[in-house]
Amino acid sequence: MRYCPACGAPVAVRRPPGDTFERHVCTACGIIHYHNPKVVVGAFCRWQDQVLLCRRAIEPRAGYWTIPAGYLELGESSEQGAIREALEEANARIEITGLLGVYNVVRIGQLQLFYRARLLSPEVAAGSETTELALFDWSEIPWQDLAFPSVDWLLRQARSVWHAPDPIVPALGP
């Protein structure tokens, strides 16, 4: 960052008083511009004994399989974001049943939150970021063609709770 988005003045990298990190600080208005991790949200969606996977139409990793997931938007909860991503990428209507995994991917500045979800219908359709969808039995998951390590981690975590009952999830704050 070279210029302050608030006032247009140059920014300097320095440690603000009382802070432990160097930050981009506006030389004119003094606003501190924080650079924080991006939050990725997604859903491990099940229909009976099958899991929904989406083949990516976009980079990175176009052509590889993933779960419906993407960046959390301002103004939505992580659960709302996971529901939105399932709808956008797979036209899937889901019910969140619990938090399944939290992954810190520090090298790329991401915090990933993945939920267990029940598909409300097996009727799904590819969205603009998806070329193909499929419901896979566990033995059919294309392990060699998964888009990201966190998808592999998540699927393995899901397998460990595959037959566990869905937890009761209380509604979380606004």
Q: What is the pLDDT of residues 106-164, one digit of tens each?
A: 999 999 999 999 999 999 999 999 999 999 999 999 999 999 999 999 999 999 887 66
In this structure, are residues 135 and 47 in contact, taking their beta carbons and an 8 Å threshold? yes
In this structure, are residues 60 and 51 in contact, taking their beta carbons and an 8 Å threshold? no
Q: Residue 125 has what pLDDT?
A: 98
Which positions ≥6 away from 66 have C-beta within 8 Å? 42, 53, 54, 56, 146, 147, 148, 151
pLDDT digit string (tens) for 7-37?
999 999 999 999 999 999 999 999 999 999 9
Q: Residue 161 has what pLDDT?
A: 82
Q: What share of the chain is helix, strand, coil (3-state, %, to 5)?
A: 20, 35, 45
CA 85 to chain CA centroid, nearest Å: 8
Q: Residue 71 has what pLDDT?
A: 98
Strands 110-119 vs 38-47: parallel, antiparallel or unpaired: parallel
Mean pLDDT of 34-55: 96
Strands 38-47 vs 69-71: parallel, antiparallel or unpaired: antiparallel
For residue 60, cis peptide bond before it (omega within 30 degrees of 0): yes
In this structure, are residues 96 and 83 in contact, taking their beta carbons and an 8 Å threshold? yes
Give the phi and the psi of residue 150 in degrees, each rounded to 5: -65, -25
Taking 70 as the threshold, does the pLDDT of residue 174 lie above it?
Answer: no
Q: Residue 167 has what pLDDT?
A: 58
Taking 90 as the threshold, does the pLDDT of residue 172 lie above it?
Answer: no
pLDDT digit string (tens) for 83-100?
999 999 999 999 999 999
Task: Report all structural domains of the chain as residue ranges with CATH numbers, in order of start.
Answer: 1-35 (2.20.70.10), 38-160 (3.90.79.10)
Taking 60 as the threshold, does the pLDDT of residue 173 lie above it?
Answer: no
Average pLDDT, the chain: 94
